[in-house]
């Protein structure tokens, strides 16, 4: 083989090595992004359950609604297996309580009600966004792992395939007016 052809072969092999290294690095960065997004989602979910517990203990709700909300918030906070179901139950409980007839009117003017509902709205938005970012990161990571080179060379190593986190995170009562956005709003 001539020296020129040898140099071309060496250059092609080096370029393939650089590409494989880049692809492996990208997979590693994507997995890191999924882990970071999951930690952010977990923090948002814990904050939402904390605000729900605070609302339950505030005395702003009737005793039955307070007990139901506290139970759902505690179950969501302490769930390890079936967390998606527990978080969806908390969303449904919040939606049920907030959709009671004259709910906003009954809280109007009560000390701390507006602040607490504003905080609940903010946490609902954070959960919505954190879940969206997490699921987007999972989708990109799964797509990258399914590329032929990543599968052939097992570039993901022993990292588990990330899973989507699907919950009912819509807290606004059905039919409530949205203020020109796809984000949930509680205040009317």
pLDDT tens, residue by residue, 16-28: 888 888 889 999 9
Average of per-residue pLDDT values in the chain: 87
pLDDT at 182 over 70: no
In this predicted structure, the answer to whether residue 139 has a pLDDT above a threshold of 70 is yes
pLDDT above 70: percentage of residues in the chain:
91
Would you place residue 162 in the very low, low, confident or very high pLDDT band (cuts 50, 70, 90)? Answer: very high
pLDDT beyond 90 at 107: no
Is 180's pLDDT higher than 70? no
pLDDT of 102 > 90? The answer is: no
Average pLDDT rounded to a whole number, residues 147-167? 89
Query: How much is the pLDDT for 187?
Result: 44
**Residue 173: its pLDDT value, please?**
60
Q: How much is the pTM?
A: 0.83
* 118 CB-near residues (< 8 Å, 6+ apart): 187
Residue 129 confidence (pLDDT): 96
Whole-angstrom Cα distance, residue 171 to residue 49?
Answer: 13
Name the band, by pLDDT with cuts 50, 70 and 90, for residue 149: confident
15: pLDDT confidence band, cut at 50, 70 and 90? confident
Full set of structural domains in the chain with CATH: 3-152 (1.20.1440)
Distance set, CA 117 to CA 4, 29, 61 (Å): 73, 37, 12
- Asked if residue 181 has pLDDT above 60, the reply is no
pLDDT at 77: 93
Which ranges of the chain would DSSP assign to H, the alpha helix?
A: 3-57, 63-78, 83-98, 103-107, 113-145, 148-152
């Amino acid at each position: 083989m001539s020296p020129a052809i040898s140099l071309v072969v060496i250059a092609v092999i080096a370029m393939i090595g650089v590409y494989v290294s880049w692809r492996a690095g990208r997979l590693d960065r994507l997995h890191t992004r999924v882990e970071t997004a999951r930690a952010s989602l977990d923090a948002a979910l814990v904050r939402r359950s904390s605000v729900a517990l605070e609302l339950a203990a505030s005395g702003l709700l009737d005793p039955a609604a307070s007990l139901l909300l506290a139970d759902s918030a505690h179950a969501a906070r302490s769930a390890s297996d079936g967390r998606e179901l527990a978080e969806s139950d908390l969303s449904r409980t919040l939606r049920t309580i907030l959709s009671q007839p004259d709910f906003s009117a009954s809280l109007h003017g009560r000390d701390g009600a507006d602040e607490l509902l504003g905080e609940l709205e903010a946490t609902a938005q954070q959960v919505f966004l954190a879940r969206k970012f997490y699921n987007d990161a999972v989708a990109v990571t799964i797509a990258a792992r399914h590329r032929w080179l990543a599968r052939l060379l097992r570039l993901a190593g022993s990292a588990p395939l990330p899973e989507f986190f699907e919950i009912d995170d819509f807290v606004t009562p059905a039919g409530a007016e949205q203020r020109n956005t796809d984000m949930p709003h509680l205040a009317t």
